[in-house]
Structure 1
Amino acid sequence: MSVSPLLSGHDVTAVANWLQQGTLKLVNLARTQGLPTALLQATSAIAWHVVPSRRAFARNLVRESALAREFDQTHGVETAGEAPLTEVGVPLEKAGRGNGLYRGIWPRMFHAALRESRLPLERFTFVDYGSGKGKALMLASAYPFRRIVGVEFAPGLHEVAVKNLSGYRSPEQQCFTLETECADALDWEPPAEPLLCFFFNPFDDPTMERVITRVARSWRHAPRDIYLLYVNVRDVSEQARVFERHSALTLVGRSRHSLLTKVTAGR
């Protein structure tokens, strides 16, 4: 009985080429930005090839990118693609607060998260923190929210969102009051009305902590129902601890891709 090799000649060549290119990039990055930064990016790059969850995400990303382009063509808007925050008006020293990159929400994840919330959506104003080009705002309009508000820090993304919302129409649309504000979430004051605050993985941990605290203070000044819905297309475990350990929040529900909490105390 013969044993088949683990890798074919073609696979070996492909792996060798990938390693060679990666090594050259690593050396160049180490020269320009330092060895720690180079090693961090190398570790992340390797994870995309060997960690099953990362590989699955990469496959889904290809499919969702095609669906995003289809969405844009259907509605005459621009939401597809990715953009480093430094290229849309965010200073380098602040880009890390927003995880460094713009990517629009995947519709299937968005709709699943709202279904799982089981909230009477007609009672709430929908607020998207880090609303980007307005994808979640447009998707939210298919539900009977009282109104829909986006908060976006990057001027370049905000400008695209304003244009998108001005002409957006859909047969499924139930809410027609859509607006977006160019503001820093750390300074923006939540409206004094029942809120469903939506977070599509928009901030690093320290920024998210401060935004949650600001929302909790708003509740203290004007007690009302405020829910926080966090969505992550990989796994909410990446940042769930920030929500679950915050003293102002009570966990309502959790799945792999969404986490729902309610403000029950202010501080």
Structure 2
Amino acid sequence: MLKFVFTKTARYPGLEVEHYQILRNLRTLLVNLKYRGPIMTFLGLAANFCARAKIPLLQEYRFNKQNLRESGLDTDGIVETAVMDIPDEVRASACRYEAASDYEFRHVLERLHVDYPAYHFVDYGSGKGAILAAAARYPFKSVTGVEISGALHQTAMRNIAEMKQRHMIRAGALTSVHGDAASYSLPNAPHVIYVYNSFGPEVLQKVLDRISEDLRDIEEPVYFLYNNPMHHNVLEKSQEFHRMSKSFGGKWLVFIRLSNSDILRKTG
């Protein structure tokens, strides 16, 4: 048991980056206390215990159920790549859909102290739009999701329409784009980029190349928030991005793109 607690492991090998479970659980506890408060966090933990013990109690208080009630959006479920409506040539590089924790995302984003109105936000592989909904809480210049699955994109568009009707959006604009991440063009402005292990290393490299091309004249920091960073070595080898020294914990790595003058110094 102690070996499991203090050794890096993954709950879903092949789908999840290895991490220290005890640190992950402690961080999850703190994040939930921060955004849910002690009562709903306690109920969520109790519901999780009941589920593991196969006791049919408190299941409406599980954290994902709390999220769905709070947002009122359709972001639940897992969609495997085998049944996604995506081109066969990209299926091998695609990853399944599963909504990320919006509270974890907000915790990481707020620690960057970004000047939101000066930045665009882009989620590559945005699925049903759970993180788009979370990002739209902040006054970004725009929030955009890029999703290759037509079915997931359509669900995201319905969620966006619901958010607009309920006046849940603080961002200047919110939209989902049906398309390939590697071919999506970014406006020539500062960006916060988000990826939840949406694709393999080949596509990730093409995305980085496109970012480099589209944002080559931007001197402001460009942030890359990588959740479940299965292919972080692609960014580690980049001459433009470097990992931020600040520890974000859990299954998160955050990279920042160097300014043009810093790139020239790094490359000699």
Quote how far apart the aligned CAs of 1:57 are.
Answer: 7.5
With 222-231 and 144-153 compared, the bigger mean Cα shift is at 222-231
The answer as to whether partners of 2:132 and 2:144 remain within 8 angstroms in 1 is yes
What percentage of aligned pairs have identical amino acids?
20
**Equivalent position of 2:86 in the other structure:** 90
Unmatched segments (≥5 aa) in structure 1: 1-5, 7-43
Cα distance change on mapping 1:55 and 1:254 into 2, 3 Å: closer
Work out the CA distance in 1 between the residues paired with 2:12 and 2:190.
42
Work out the CA distance in 2 between the residues paired with 1:223 and 1:204.
27
Unmatched segments (≥5 aa) in structure 2: 2-10, 29-46, 49-60, 264-268
State whether structure 2 residue 207 is matched by structure 1 residue 211. yes
Quote how far apart the aligned CAs of 1:198 are.
Answer: 1.1
The answer as to whether partners of 1:252 and 1:262 remain within 8 angstroms in 2 is no
State whether structure 2 residue 146 is matched by structure 1 residue 151. yes
Q: How does 1:143-222 map to 2 (within 5 A)?
A: 143-168=138-163, 173-175=169-171, 177-220=173-216, 222=217
Work out the CA distance in 2 between the residues paired with 1:253 and 1:161.
34
- For 2:231, the aligned partner's letter is Q
Instruction: Give the structure-2-normalised TM-score.
Output: 0.69
The answer as to whether partners of 2:139 and 2:171 remain within 8 angstroms in 1 is yes
Quote how far apart the aligned CAs of 1:173 are.
Answer: 4.3
Work out the CA distance in 1 between the residues paired with 2:221 and 2:82.
32
Pick aligned residue for 1:124 from 119, 122, 144:
119
**Equivalent position of 1:242 in the other structure:** 234
Deviations 1:139-174 (A, max 9, x none): 011111111111111111101000010011678742
State whether structure 2 residue 106 is matched by structure 1 residue 111. yes
The answer as to whether partners of 1:97 and 1:203 remain within 8 angstroms in 2 is yes
The answer as to whether partners of 1:240 and 1:259 remain within 8 angstroms in 2 is no
Larger Rg: 1
Work out the CA distance in 1 between the residues paired with 2:140 and 2:88.
35
The size of the alignment, in residue pairs, is 218
Quote how far apart the aligned CAs of 1:187 are.
Answer: 1.1
State whether structure 2 residue 220 is matched by structure 1 residue 225. yes
Pick aligned residue for 2:129 from 130, 134, 143:
134
SS at match of 1:211: helix
**Equivalent position of 1:10 in the other structure:** none
Quote how far apart the aligned CAs of 1:183 are.
Answer: 0.8
The answer as to whether partners of 1:131 and 1:151 remain within 8 angstroms in 2 is yes
Cα distance change on mapping 1:112 and 1:96 into 2, 3 Å: farther
Work out the CA distance in 2 between the residues paired with 1:260 and 1:46.
24
The answer as to whether partners of 2:193 and 2:223 remain within 8 angstroms in 1 is yes
Deviations 1:13-68 (A, max 9, x none): xxxxxxxxxxxxxxxxxxxxxxxxxxxxxxx97899xx88579989x8x95x9323
Instruction: Give the structure-1-normalised TM-score.
Output: 0.69
**Equivalent position of 1:33 in the other structure:** none
With 137-146 and 173-182 compared, the bigger mean Cα shift is at 173-182
**Equivalent position of 1:37 in the other structure:** none
Cα distance change on mapping 1:47 and 1:197 into 2, 3 Å: closer
RMSD between superposed Cα atoms in Å = 3.5
Cα distance change on mapping 1:93 and 1:141 into 2, 3 Å: same
**Equivalent position of 2:53 in the other structure:** none
Work out the CA distance in 1 between the residues paired with 2:145 and 2:12.
32
